[in-house]
Amino acid sequence: MPALPHRHELYTVAQVRAFDRRAIDGLGIPGIELMQRAAAAAFASLRRHWPQARRLAVYCGPGNNGGDGFLLAALARKQGLQAEVIALTAVSTGDAALARQAWRDAGGAVRLWQSGTALPAADVQVDALYGTGLHRPPAPEVAALIAAIAASGQPVLALDVPSGLAADTGDVPGAVLPADVTISFIAAKRGLYTGRAAEVVGRLELAPLDLPESLWQGVPPDAVLLSPECLPRRPRAAHKGANGHVLAIGGDHGLAGAIRLCGEAALRAGAGLVSVATRADHLLALNAARPELMAHGVADGDALAPLLARASVLALGPGLGQGDWSRALWRAALASGKPLVLDADGLNLLARAPAPLAQPGVLTPHPGEAARLLATTAAAVEADRFATVRALARRYRAVVVLKGAGSLIAAPDGKVAVCPWGNPGMATGGMGDLLTGVIAALMAQGCDAWRAACLGVGLHARAGDCAARHGERGLLASDLLAPLRALGNGLDDDE
């Protein structure tokens, strides 16, 4: 299969519709021909993934997505496969009506869906119910069909978008049909790469339908996918002072593990020096476990001052707490003007006194923390992760990492990057502490906030995928440290 163009560029639904219209009006490609190309690409995908399949059930909605389904069924019938079409409505609209007639002309029948009726026997179920326009829960009768298909146990090929998934946001407002394979047409829709989409798209493919490069000219993508990267090789004369000094601040009573993970991640990500400012009762354990960390007991903001003076970047928040000691260190760190990465309780304290950062910074909230920073709810955050991360970056004048499946990175100017790596095993304590240390180490080595956030998120997620080769369940944050070091040096982790 040839390399696909624009494989790292993500677009909104409105942009993709404009591409479709430009292809029809500007390039003179009839809409029905675009449907035929989509059907051919989808059928080729189906044959690649399920070469032994002989029976297809194709579920068609009234719009263009349904038209793709009708034409795929006609192709399958022409190739000697059995195809049965179940439609939501008695008529189709626009070019989909031509596609429906093409299926009838090929000798195919259309069965209307009625709740409670049995689904046809099939080796593969083809989802052509809804395309990119769905922003609401499917109607109850369609939800019943979606539930029946999902319960069949047969593999599902989704055309363009799994039905029930909002292609712009990755939200699932109601019933959704999980796919084993999703083949997306013309351009990659941004919502298929973040949030709930990770649960339902299965293997995601892109078919640009042989459209010329001129179609994309002058239309910047709404977001981009991260690419695998590592740090450049160090010069032979490098010394520790040239690789930055991270000061990790946190670890209230009982929370030494969080600040240790943060500091150790900063070391493994290449910081030349890492100091830790924490409670004095943690020093013995930290020195015994990781002597390379320069651990200091600090009682208040004044005691933190000399450590702040020597640091080049701050990692503020892991295990920090929100008591008097915590607030004193937090205020001193923000007042220092030093570049920083803010996480965990550092973010919760910011939410209690919201104000733009006065220094270069990276915020790394999960959805709950993001909701507090914007005075909204976690559900609202997840309903539109792209709008959320951009709002945070604007409000706090910082680069923001919105963590979760398909983590998003946004800059105050509105640019967004999406992380395509990571796995459910990483949903465990300490992972965010690692990420804070990694990003801080990259800033200490000369990356600006945007570059450090993008590179750090990518290395962290890829290290998680390496560590998950031994299984996702039971994955520990510290399991990422060895692959993190390897990936940061451009090496393949073979643990």
User: In the structure, what pLDDT confidence band is assigned to residue 2 with cuts at 50, 70 and 90?
Assistant: very low
Please give the backbone phi and psi of residue 118, each rounded to the nearest 5 degrees, phi first. Answer: -75, 145
Q: Are 75 and 81 in contact (CB under 8 A)?
A: no
- The tokens for 349 are 């304290």
Provide mean pLDDT across the span 17-25. Answer: 94
Evaluate if residue 234 carries a pLDDT over 90: no
What percent of the chain shows pLDDT beyond 70?
Answer: 97
Provide mean pLDDT across the span 139-155. Answer: 94
User: In the structure, what pLDDT confidence band is assigned to residue 8 with cuts at 50, 70 and 90?
Assistant: confident
Which three-class secondary structure string do you get for the chain?
CCCCCCCCEEECHHHHHHHHHHHHHHCCCCHHHHHHHHHHHHHHHHHHHCCCCCEEEEEECCCHHHHHHHHHHHHHHHCCCEEEEEECCCCCCCHHHHHHHHHHHCCCCEEECCCCCCCCCCCEEEEECCCCCCCCCCCHHHHHHHHHHHHCCCCEEEECCCCCCCCCCCCCCCCCCCCCEEEEECCEEHHHHCCCHHHHCCEEEEECCCCCHHHHCCCCCCEEECCCCCCCCCCCCCCHHHHCEEEEECCCCCCHHHHHHHHHHHHHCCCCEEEEEECHHHHHHHHHHCCCCEEEECCCHHHHHHHHHHCCEEEECCCCCCCHHHHHHHHHHHHCCCCEEECCHHHHHHHHCCCCCCCCEEECCCHHHHHHHHCCCHHHHHHCHHHHHHHHHHHHCCEEEECCCCCEEECCCCCEEECCCCCHHHCCCCHHHHHHHHHHHHHHCCCCHHHHHHHHHHHHHHHHHHHHHHCCCCCCHHHHHHHHHHHHCCCCCCC
Q: List domains and CATH numbers for the chain.
A: 9-220 (3.40.50.10260), 240-488 (3.40.1190.20)
Residues paired with 275 in a beta bridge: 247, 294
Look over the chain and give the mean of its residue pLDDT values, rounded to a whole number.
94
User: In the structure, what pLDDT confidence band is assigned to residue 493 with cuts at 50, 70 and 90?
Assistant: low
What percent of the chain shows pLDDT beyond 90?
Answer: 90
- pLDDT of amino acid 494: 54
- pLDDT of amino acid 23: 95
Provide mean pLDDT across the span 18-32. Answer: 94
User: In the structure, what pLDDT confidence band is assigned to residue 6 with cuts at 50, 70 and 90?
Assistant: low
Q: What is the pLDDT of residues 260-274, one digit of tens each?
A: 999 999 999 999 999
Say how far apart CA 341 and CA 364 lie, in whole Å. Answer: 8
Q: Are 146 and 125 in contact (CB under 8 A)?
A: no
Q: Are strands 361-363 and 124-128 parallel, antiparallel or unpaired?
A: unpaired
Provide mean pLDDT across the span 182-209. Answer: 96
Evaluate if residue 159 carries a pLDDT over 90: yes
Provide mean pLDDT across the span 221-242. Answer: 82
Q: The tokens 């799994």 sit on which residue?
A: 162
Which segment of 3-17, 153-167, 334-348 scores lowest on mean pLDDT? 3-17
Which segment of 229-233, 298-302, 324-328, 365-369 scores lowest on mean pLDDT? 229-233
pTM, to two decimals: 0.94
- pLDDT of amino acid 384: 96
- pLDDT of amino acid 277: 97
- The tokens for 416 are 């967004």
- pLDDT of amino acid 232: 77
- The tokens for 39 are 């059907």
Q: What is the pLDDT of residues 99-134, one digit of tens each?
A: 999 999 999 999 999 888 899 999 999 999 998 878
